[in-house]
A = this chain, B = another copy of it.
Amino acid sequence: MYKETLLMMPGPVPMPETVRNAMTKQAMNHRSKDFGDCYAEIVKILKPVFGTSNDMLVLSGSGTAGQEAAIGSFAKDKKIVSLVNGKFGERLGLISKIYGPTQMLESEWGHPLNLEGLAESLENGAEVVTMVHNETSAAILNPAEEVGKLCKKHDALFILDGITSIGGDVFKADEWGVDVAIVGSQKCLAAPAGLAAVSVSQKAWDRLSENRPFYLDLKKAKKSADLSPMETPTTPAVPLFLALRESCKLIEEEGIENRIARHQKMSAAVRAAGKTWGLKLVPQVDALHKASNTVTGFFYPEGIEDSKIRGACKKMGIEFAGGQDRLKGKIFRIGNMGIIDTPEILATVAAVQMCFKKTGYKLEGDGLSAAVEVLSQ
């Protein structure tokens, strides 16, 4: 029997029907009012979701394209500090190295960022700071507000990757002093993969780099977006824009506050289950660093194989993520981005518990009941 797998990944995530169906529209001229209106509606809805009144540009490329657009447009040939405590922070660092002298301030994956090191680097003249807000590889939520304050104090540009938090968790680009913020379409926005939206502050525009990349040049994107109707400098992935507009409409309909509360509740339920099971959370939380509200990561207990839990759940039709790179085989991660709600969380938590029991491993307690309790509130 063919049935779709329930994707409980930290992206891509299940898409609502209206979002999927929007893509079937016949091709249109992208230099037209129809397309411009679509782009404008996305921007109008996303600005409050980013917490910004800055410019907002949508690029035809993945979140990584958004990261490179930010760095290539504003950090080229500047002194960059990249804060790293996971795979995506590392990616920002690797991209930064292509464009300018980069100091990677690395912590263990899932451990707190090196904020003292950052303060020192800023004292020593660092001009740009890159950071991932919600580091999915280690399921940790990094302190955007605090880093924003440090950047402001030292007049550095703050590039913040909100790829997996924006639309699902609190994000206040302007209040936090974020100069460039990035979101990916296939995460909390629940749209198809392939678009990145980027907000840009005036401070960033004032410090535009020379000799920027071509396809990912945010200056060119702004020039086209400033036209009426709005345009993109090169041919956009039109079906993805049409789909993203539908996602945005659903976000507006739900209300961003409600949406964030839902994401927080779903992740709290998963965390409660894990705590009751006696599993160790991947992120090392402290006063500033929190467990992510859009993906929850647990270490496998000694001796439990990835395939026994994640592989078995996948066979049942529920797919969540394992660890990446150095965390491969050591952790599993349950996403709750986009339209994931109570039924999906219940099914997933129950499936995980079932698979652990099958392995013979004795979990400490009934995580499913703990999750139910959170979800019942």
Contacts and interface: CB of A to CB of B under 8 A. Distances in A.
A339 to B, nearest CB: 11
- DSSP majority for the A interface? loop
Interface string A20-40: 110111111110000000000
Interface string A160-190: 0000000000000000000000001010000
A23 B20 contact: yes
Contacts of A12: 27-30, 235, 238
A294 to B, nearest CB: 16
Given A20-B23, A60-B62, A193 B30 contact: yes
A43 to B, nearest CB: 19
A63 to B, nearest CB: 7
A61 B64 contact: no
A153 B98 CA distance: 34
Interface in A223-237: 234-237
Interface stretch (A116-124, A207-215, A361-369): A207-215
A91 B234 CA distance: 11
Contacts of A27: 7, 12-15, 186, 192-193
B240 A194 contact: yes
A171 to B, nearest CB: 20
A356 B209 CA distance: 49
Contacts of A193: 27, 30, 60, 235-239
A282 interface: no
A65 interface: yes
Nearest to A27: B12
Counting chain B CB atoms within 10 Å of each CB, the highest count among A9, A12, A63 belongs to A12
Given A62-B60, A68-B215, A211-B98, A184 B24 contact: no
A98 B214 contact: yes
A213 B4 CA distance: 36
A7 to B, nearest CB: 6
Contacts of A62: 60, 215, 234-237
Which 6 A-B residue pairings sit nearest by Cβ, starting from the closest?
Answer: A194-B237, A23-B23, A64-B234, A12-B27, A62-B235, A20-B24
13 contacts: A4-B26, A12-B29, A14-B26, A23-B23, A24-B24, A29-B319, A60-B193, A61-B61, A62-B234, A64-B215, A98-B214, A195-B237, A215-B216
